[in-house]
Structure 1
Amino acid sequence: MPQARPPSRPTSSGTVTTPALASRRPHRRGSTLTTTFRELGILPETAEALEAVGIINPFPIQEMTLPVALSGTDVIGQAKTGTGKTLGFGLPLLERVTVPADVEAGRAKPEALTDAPQALVVVPTRELCTQVTNDLLTAGKVRNVRVAAIYGGRAYEPQVEALKKGVDVVVGTPGRLLDLAGQKKLDLKHVKCLVLDEADEMLDLGFLPDVEKIIDMLPAKRQTMLFSATMPGAVIGLARRYMSRPTHIRATAPDDEGVTVANIKQFVYRAHSMDKPEMVARILQAEGRGLAMIFCRTKRTAADIAEQLQHRGFASGAVHGDLGQGAREQALRAFRNGKVDVLVCTDVAARGIDVEGVTHVINYQSPEDEKTYLHRVGRTGRAGAKGTAITFVDWDDIPRWQLINKALQLDFNDPVETYSSSPHLFSDLGIPEGTKGVLPRSERTRAGLAAEELEDLGETGGRGSRGRRSPGVSAENERPARTPRRRRRTRSGTPLDSSVTTNTATADTGAAEATESVERRTPRRRRRMRGGAPVEATAAPVTPATAEPAAPEATKVAETVVETVEATEPKPRRRRTRKTAEPVPVAPEATAATEAPPAAAETAVDTAEATEAKP
């Protein structure tokens, strides 16, 4: 039987705390709270759904949160990443939702049923949105709770259709939620429970104004739960404005006093940027290595490292902001399904992503601050499992790392200078001797990213791969190649395509057809003009006349020319043209005289000179 919960008492700060928290006694499992979800008082259908997937015993944050949240009190939950905050707020949220199964069981009246959302969960990233949605669907499977994921990067129509059909719980990112609410497609007037997950990350990403607008659309009478790994001042200010006498629950394990989870082994090395890919390739071949996540600061570095690891034989995928939503979800699905065992990502995947079996986390580039370090490292060692975290620090990043080291009270103020051939790298991480930077072909057993289907999400905003084809995208999913422009060659107004195509008809008649096509091809004719009259008309009779000139005829022509010159008056000599020669009946003969033998030509010239010399 569950023990009775002692009455809460207000503190001077206006919040409500439990006696266990007020006395600052460390919580030990089984000391003050019960140890199974059924005994915590959740609905039997929910407990049955959790037991079906092997979830029976709660974690400390869940044990401490459920009794308070089930009573309807506002809650601020603070715990380390990877300790089960999702079910800490998810189970009370599902209890507040009324579904037809509750009416059949007699727990609710039919008037309480509605197709509008009754609970709202706001998360900072798309990946966390899909994960929380899946967790809530798992817990509410027996009761058939309808959960919809609303986030950007996907087409509007499927999300609007889901809202029209009716949903009980909406999980979404601030931008798309505010967009649909502004279009009157999302009705928030019936929301009875609001959850802000990873609130500090939403503030860091600049979502605070959007979150405040969403909260202003909700009914004033509601339960509000805020969960986060860290509690900066802005989050506390948000809680004071929008929460009513919240209970602040901070759960830690009795044997885990540090900031990071105790079962994560941490190593920090001072590494050279040119040697980092080789070091990563050797670390990925360590003994007992399961799934691995590699974190980078920039999108370009993440894409480059994923490509290098593929060339080295590893089944790797990438998740960063330059990829479309379809490619990001494809990589995450392949990682969860085991088709890819190395996921290279930016800090977009460092928040709340829970993948079972992650044993190694590698910080390829030093994180910006201590919060980023905590969330990156928290991808391993989740739910009580053990993990290994390796951080590479460049020489330029030493001052930043020393601040992180001091804030987290770690013991790596001066990282050891390490290269891919350093003996202590092999001994620290259990890398077999003689390991090189290329995965042997016998160990390449993963299906790879290409084996995971790329889902067409009807993405908006045109955020594709920006000129770079993401690994695993098949050619048939891409835009078909543009048909090359064909230029039609014509000659004298007739196309040449017919004559060209007939040349390649058959091999036997190829030569004959080629000859015929050449004969059929009419040569290009240029009309020569002289003095405005075409030359071809006069040139035709000239050609036969000048074919075979004879010497005696040439002598007679020369005498005729002399007589003509004598008959004419002396005037300046003009060059004879064919136009002036047209009315002269002896034009063909005169033309022939121009091509007469040299002797006849000289005689004609001498006679003309003698005639001009006479007085």
Structure 2
Amino acid sequence: MALPLALAGQDVIGQARTGTGKTYAFGVAMLQLVGKPRKNRKKPRGLVLVPTRELALQVTEDLVLAAGKLGSRILTVYGGRAYEPQIEALKSGVDVIVGTPGRLLDLVKQKHLDLGQITMLVMDEADRMLDLGFLPDIERIIKLVPEKRQTMLFSATMPGEIVALSRRYLNRPIHVRAENNDAEAEATPQTTQFVYRTHRMDKIEIVARLLQSTTSGLTMIFCETKRACDMVAEQLDDKGFAVAAVHGDLGQGQREQALRAFRNGKINVLVATDVAARGIDIDDVTHVVNYDCPQDEKTYVHRIGRTGRAGRTGVAVTFVEWTELTRWKVINNALSLDFAEPVETYSSSPHVYTDLGIPEGTKGVLPHARRSRAGLAAEEIEDLGETGRTRSRGRGDRPGREERRERPARTPRERRRTRGGRSAEAEAAVEAREPQGALDVEQTREVDQVREAEQVREAEQVREVDQVRKTRKTRKTAVPAAVEEIRPVPTPHAEPERDLVPERDLVPEPLAVLEPEPLPQPKPQPERIIPPSPFVVVFRSPDLATEDDIPAPSAATERAAQRRRPARSRRGG
């Protein structure tokens, strides 16, 4: 329905269920508009914006397949890879560019990419780009392309933000919705859905039994967080399944390695976050497991859309915990499903074996006879010249992790334990008072040196005691009544064989108690004036006058003197 409108140059808003061929709806029209490549034309004329790297690779593969006879030059541009190969391809000439907004803006900023000749702009999975916060980048890219262009917008869901975006940048678009309710009601559903209310600790056991069902082929397991992806992949790897993880913390080379191994059948289980829930078209995906309950109905639609594509059948299993029942009821009501009250399910529940076609007696570990997959280690990692920090997989995804590296034998170190500068042998010999001949020559010399040092130390202590004794006799000041006994400090290393100084000489005689000096008398304090009431402030000014000072005349005396002066002057006249 959208192809005739796109070939006619009309702006289109395409909405259809995932897996119905939206890529060819705009890809064929874009390749027809661009035409065959020319030597004098190096700037791109078609631009496709996608939200994720995996979707960019998927769209590129479809466009290369469609342009087999035309020979159009198609370039994939996204982050995580080296700039040099992309810059060389842009210099040699490109007809169509498929890329993510971030890397496109980087190349434009570096003046390696010119969008001035774009005649067709396509935004694939536009709602996902808005969810990831690409709206400012999209607006900047739209300002870089010419106003006279054909714009098409495709997505599986069409929220209000997409409608507002189409009104701003599309010119009288036609909304094409590829759904036929009557045909879908009559036909058998392509994807069989099961919803179970499970316990968190029992999910992995149900998944291990599901992977051994009679209809199980390639299986995708969706988790909410990156850490949950690593945990599930590690546990399934321990149970014997060929599994790999795909999430944002892995390098681009590791992500493409996992997807190639999954497409080639070297692994049959792919654990991923929602980064792989958009646009990844992998054939023969028989089962999709929502290990964590989706956040909304759009995420649920895109997750289960990885199976039952292009007329195939598939099975979608969703796990809902007790704390997620409210969220699931909102999704169930929005999609008009029949799973408002999921059945309480465990790994030993009989209906699990019946619904999913699991043979009776299946355990949670894959038998060794059925472990025929080559595994992730069989797929080589392509050197993409990745930028940024190096990322690594979890412990469960490392190839050959069973072979642990053996540490080299450590050379023993010769340690010599000492105590106070003496070896342990010398210390034991001194404590046991062994005869001199019992020790070897080196130990005997060491013991002699220690004894000489102790004798010198004891002699110095005796000399200090004598000096203190003489000093105290000459002092005239008083000392406290308690008399301190001065003893030499014993050495903790060893006891001497003989005492060089008698003990009576080390203990001084009690010192005489002298009379204390009289304390200085305190200065007399001035007399304090105590007022009769605490609220009365009394101030007495100090008397600063001396006998030689002439008292100043009072005001009354000065007035009397002034009155007498005129009279004297009149008399004199």
d(CA) in 2 for partners of 1:190, 1:277: 53
**Does 2:35 match 1:122?**
no
Q: Where do 1:181-260 residues align within 5 Å?
A: 181-255=108-182
Structure 1: which 5+ runs fail to align? 1-63, 104-109, 490-523, 530-571, 573-615
User: Which amino acid in the other structure matches residue 166 of structure 1?
Assistant: G
Q: Which secondary structure state, in structure 2, belongs to the residue aligned with residue 274 of structure 1?
A: helix
In the alignment, the residues of structure 2 paired with residue 485 and residue 383 of structure 1 have an alpha-carbon distance, to the nearest angstrom, of: 62
Q: CA deviation at 1:155?
A: 1.3
Which position in structure 1 is the counterpart of 2:36? 99
Query: Residue type of the partner of 1:464?
Result: R
Q: Are the counterparts in 2 of residues 123 and 129 from structure 1 also a CA contact under 8 Å?
A: yes
Note if contact 1:326-1:457 (Cα within 8 Å) is conserved in structure 2. yes
Query: 3-state SS of the aligned residue for 1:288?
Result: coil
Cα distance, 1:255 vs structure 2:
4.2
- Kindly tell me: are residues 483 and 186 of structure 1, through their superposed partners in 2, closer, same or farther at Cα, counting changes over 3 Å? farther
Q: Shift in Å at residue 474 of structure 1?
A: 7.1
In the alignment, is residue 139 of structure 1 matched against residue 66 of structure 2?
yes
Aligned twin of 2:13: 76
Shift of 1:481: 13
Shift in Å at residue 483 of structure 1?
12
> For residues 515-557 of structure 1, what are the alpha-carbon distances to aligned partners after superposition, in whole Å with 9 as ceiling and x for unaligned?
xxxxxxxxx99xx99xxxxxxxxxxxxxxxxxxxxxxxxxxxx
| TM-score normalised by the chain length of structure 2 | 0.69
Q: 3-state SS of the aligned residue for 1:384?
A: coil
Is 1:459–2:423 an aligned residue pair?
Answer: no
* In 1: Cα distance, 2:319 partner to 2:52 partner: 26
Cross-structure match for 2:492: none
Equivalent position to 2:193, from 266, 269, 272? 266
Q: TM-score, length-normalised on structure 1? A: 0.65
Q: Greater shift after overlay, 246-255 or 447-456?
A: 246-255
1-side partners of 2:88 and 2:407: how far apart? 35
Tell me the amino acid that sits aligned with residue 18 of structure 2: T
Tell me which amino acid in the other structure corresponds to 1:439. L
1:317 aligns to 2:238 (yes or no): no
| 1:442-469 Cα deviation digits (max 9, x unpaired) | 1111111000001122221215127x45
Find the aligned partners of 1:212 and 1:385 in 2 and give their Cα distance: 38
2:296 equivalent in structure 1:
369
Distance 2:247 2:127 in 1: 21
- Counterpart position of 2:309: 382
1:304 to 226, 231, 238: 231
Do the aligned partners of 1:354 and 1:379 also contact (CA within 8 Å) in 2? Answer: yes
Query: Which residue is 1:409 aligned to?
Result: 336
How many Å apart are 1:253 and its aligned residue? 3.4
Instruction: Give the whole-Å Cα distance in 2 for the aligned partners of 1:176 and 1:131.
Output: 17
2:249 and 2:409 map into 1 onto residues whose CA distance is: 30
Shift of 1:342: 0.6
For these two proteins, the number of residue pairs brought into alignment is 424
Instruction: Give the Cα separation in 1 of the matches to 2:68 and 2:42.
Output: 18
In structure 2, give the amino acid aligned to 1:438: V
1:220/1:358 CA distance change after superposition, 3 Å: same
Contact 1:322-1:463 at 8 Å conserved across structures: no
SS at match of 1:77: strand
Deviation, structure 1 residue 128? 0.3
For 1:97-121, what per-residue CA distance to the aligned partner results, in whole angstroms no more than 9, with x for missing partners? 1324xx7xxxxxx8xx511111000
Deviations 1:127-168 (A, max 9, x none): 001110111111112211111110011111111111112111
User: Structure 1 residue aligned with 2:397, among 452, 471, 483?
Assistant: 471
Q: Is residue 281–residue 437 contact of structure 1 (8 Å, CA) maintained in 2?
A: yes
Name the aligned partner's letter for residue 121 of structure 1. Answer: V
Judge which range, 246-255 or 407-416, deviates more.
246-255
Distance in 1, matches of 2:116 and 2:188, equals 40
Going from structure 1 to structure 2, the CA distance change for 1:485 and 1:430 (only over 3 Å counts) comes to closer
Partners of 2:94 and 2:239 in 1: CA distance: 46
Bigger CA radius of gyration = 2
Q: Tell whether the 8 Å contact from 1:296 to 1:363 is kept in structure 2 after alignment.
A: yes
- What residue in structure 1 maps to residue 365 of structure 2? 438
The unaligned stretches of length 5 or more in structure 2 are 415-444, 451-465, 467-573
Letter in 2 for 1:290: G
Instruction: Answer whether contact 1:147 1:169 (CA < 8 A) is retained.
Output: yes
Verify: 1:425 aligned to 2:362, yes or no: no
- Tell me if the contact between 1:153 and 1:325 (Cα under 8 Å) persists in the aligned partners: yes
The offset of 1:472, in angstroms, is 4.5
Deviations 1:300-357, CA, capped at 9 Å, x for gaps: 1111111111111111111011211111111001001110111000111001111000
Q: Structure 1, residues 451-498: CA drift from partner, whole Å, max 9, x if none?
A: 0001122221215127x45725579xxxx9999999x99xxxxxxxxx
Q: Distance in 2 between matches of 1:362 and 1:383?
A: 19
